[in-house]
Amino acid sequence: MTDSAFLYTLNPDGSAMIGYEDYDVDIFDGDDYEVTYLLDTENFNNLLHHLNIPLNRDTKKLLKKEFGQHFDSRKFEEFCKEHGISYERNVRIG
């Protein structure tokens, strides 16, 4: 693996996508590996509430601070489970 990126997109309807992409992953013969979590508006707001992150702040920066520069999926999933936050998880290799 050569690099990793933290992904965050806030959609116009208030829903969000959070995740990460690893580039040039050896176990996938050099393919990229991307994991994204899609949260509808209600669940994204619930996530921000439980993290004490106001929506008008630098949300991406604060999410990185909470879940790590390269996004700790396990920590994110455990946090969501603990607080009843639902998401749709997607994985893409290629």
Q: 60-90 pLDDT, tens per residue?
A: 999 999 998 878 899 999 999 999 999 999 9
pLDDT at 5 over 70: yes
User: What is the pLDDT at residue 33?
Assistant: 65
Kindly tell me if the per-residue pLDDT of 13 is higher than 90.
Answer: yes
Residues with Cβ within 8 Å of residue 48, at least 6 apart in sequence: 54, 55, 59
**What spatial distance separates the first Cα and last Cα of the chain, rounded to whole Å?**
13
